[in-house]
Amino acid sequence: MREIARVKDAALGFFDSGVGGLTVVRAVQDLLPGEDLVYLGDTARLPYGSKSAETIRKFAQEDVDFLLSKGVKAIVVACNTATAHALPEFWKDCPVPIMGVIAPGVEAALADAGTERIGIIATRGTIDSHAYQHALAKERRGLRIYGEATPLLVPLIEEDWVSEEVTKEVLRKYLAPLLDRGIDTLMLGCTHYPLLVPVLREILPADVRLIDSATTCAEHLKRMLEEKGLLKEGDGEGVLQIHLTDLSEQFEELAKRFLRRPTGRVRRAVVG
């Protein structure tokens, strides 16, 4: 009995190439405020989006090992690129439950029976892996799925240029081929992109549905913890620990913006 209580009290682990995954952490804090969270951002080795599948798998394994060394009870791969390239590898051997951001997004996109034409924007690595395309096609036949690599968006978001005209221009150019194909749903396939939602709402026709994987991921995580009897009990407030593999003032500032609340002391992590 005491053993089970101890596991329930352990923290949840999250990792991303940088601070983008904090959008997922924020959604989890809102939904599960009592849980302790450990976040690893591999800022020394980002971006993952332009790297090979082999390199991303190696990095992701090292990130998972870091979180396991912190005694986490479950892991969320809060990075679309790492989920796309590495998640199936981990299902087999990971000693704790592990989930990514793609399955929750797919579930949310298909929750509407009317969804027929889906656009996905993401890093080049995620789009080229076809992970979203395969996951969607497996769930529903006859879908029209269009992926668009949007590599300029992460740097624009990190520069805090989200509301600048140049970002709107870049978005219009990226979205034009998807809108020409009459998409009814746009999936944000990168953990940085929830910060673009207000601008996307300005640019997109009102009838295009936006799927942001941060919120759906938090809901998915809650269900998974319930099913496995791992939800923390009691009503104390959870603690968040942020670890970054490269610590700089810029990353600390960015982390605050992504989390939209104080980050506490950010620690330097050594992985690999």
Instruction: Kindly name the residue from 24, 79, 84, 186 that is annotated as catalytic.
Output: 79
Minimum Å gap between C-beta 210 and ligand DGL is 16
| Closest residue to bound ligand DGL by CB | 49
Q: Please, which of residues 55-114 interact with ligand DGL by CB under 6 A? A: 79-81
Q: Is 76 helix (H, G, I), strand (E, B) or coil?
A: strand
Q: Which positions from 210 through 269 interact with ligand DGL, judged by CB under 6 A?
A: none
User: Does residue number 16 form part of the binding site for ligand DGL (CB under 6 A)?
Assistant: yes
Shortest Cβ distance from residue 131 to ligand DGL (Å)? 11
Quick one: which of 194, 234, 232, 200 has its CA closest to 214? 194
Tokens at 107, concatenated: 């579930």
- Closest contact distance (angstroms) between CB of 229 and ligand DGL is 30
Q: Which stretch binds ligand DGL (CB under 6 A): 33-41, 161-169, 185-193, 255-263?
A: 185-193
Helices (H), ranges, 70-211: 80-93, 102-110, 124-129, 131-139, 153-158, 165-180, 197-203
Q: Determine whether 183 is exposed, middle or buried from the number of CB atoms within 10 Å of its CB (0-12, 13-18, 19+).
A: buried
| Annotated catalytic residue 190 | yes
By CB under 6 A, the residues from 149 to 168 that bind ligand DGL are 154
Per the annotation, the verdict on 217 as an active-site residue is: no
15 and 64 in contact (C-beta within 8 Å)? yes
β-bridge mates for residue 147, sequence order? 120
Give contact residues for ligand DGL (rule: CB under 6 A): 16-18, 20, 46-49, 79-81, 123, 126, 154, 190-192
